[in-house]
């Protein structure tokens, strides 16, 4: 019933679920661009509509009753952002302990304009030995979904260049807030 409701919400809102579902048992799913609070809502509606079991970190301040219960049921894991450096290791450990595991995140790490994407998604995928799938939140075309795959090369700069090429025509809710896809030491 929830799946039908999610499909209806996408349809009535003019959004189209696009792309593919991962064809492997474990993967990092990135969603970009992340420029609005609505991004998480549309990503969750998509997740339910297509029946994708994906886990994700959300700032711990969101885990108040009853929202926290809903977020946990949808795959949310509270993240204390003052200890965010441990998030990569926590995600890698989840990959090691689960037979099937999809982990989703927004590589910008925030809705505000920054100098570059955070590379935690790349470190997680590299350490876990899993591919990265490209999720889109394209407000121009009202498309939400997973529309590509990246098998990491071991070269973060080259991999981020492939990400930049993939996302070059995807427009967030607030395009001026889209963080450039590039590697910064």
Range with top average pLDDT, 60-64, 88-92, 105-109, 144-148: 144-148
Q: Please say if the pLDDT value at position 161 is more than 90.
A: yes
Q: Please say if the pLDDT value at position 84 is more than 70.
A: no
Q: Please say if the pLDDT value at position 178 is more than 80.
A: yes
Asked whether 163 and 181 are in contact (CB, 8 A), the reply is yes
Phi/psi of residue 2, nearest 5 degrees: -65, -35
Token output for 5: 């409701």
Mean pLDDT of the chain: 92
pLDDT at site 116? 84
DSSP string, 74-111: TTEEEE-GGGGGGHHHHHHHHHHH-SSEEEEE-TT-SS
For residues 103-114, give the mean pLDDT.
Answer: 88
pLDDT at site 49? 97
CA neighbours closer than 13 Å in the CB half-sphere of residue 56: 23
163 secondary structure, DSSP code: H
53 confidence band (pLDDT: 50, 70, 90): very high
Q: Please say if the pLDDT value at position 18 is more than 70.
A: yes
The four Cα atoms 110, 17, 128, 155 give a dihedral, to 10 degrees, of: -70
For 110-159, write each residue's pLDDT tens digit. Answer: 888 888 898 889 999 999 999 999 999 999 999 999 999 999 999 999 99
């Amino acid at each position: 019933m929830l799946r039908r409701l999610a499909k209806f919400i996408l349809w009535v809102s003019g959004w189209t679920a696009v792309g593919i579902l991962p064809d492997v048992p474990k993967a990092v799913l990135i969603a970009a661009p992340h420029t609005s609070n609505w991004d998480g809502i549309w990503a969750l509606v998509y997740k339910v509509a297509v029946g994708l079991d994906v886990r994700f970190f959300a700032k711990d301040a969101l885990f108040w009753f009853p929202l926290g219960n809903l977020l946990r049921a949808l795959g949310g894991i509270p993240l204390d952002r003052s200890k965010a450096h441990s998030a990569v290791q926590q995600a890698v450990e989840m990959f090691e302990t689960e037979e099937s595991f999809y982990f989703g995140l927004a590589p910008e790490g925030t809705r505000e304009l920054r100098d570059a994407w955070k590379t935690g998604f790349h470190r997680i995928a590299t350490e876990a030995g899993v591919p990265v799938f490209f999720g889109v939140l394209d407000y121009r075309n009202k498309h939400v979904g997973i529309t590509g795959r990246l098998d990491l090369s071991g070269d973060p700069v080259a991999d981020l260049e492939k990400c930049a090429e993939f996302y070059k025509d995807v427009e967030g809710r607030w395009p001026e807030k889209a963080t450039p896809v590039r590697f910064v030491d």
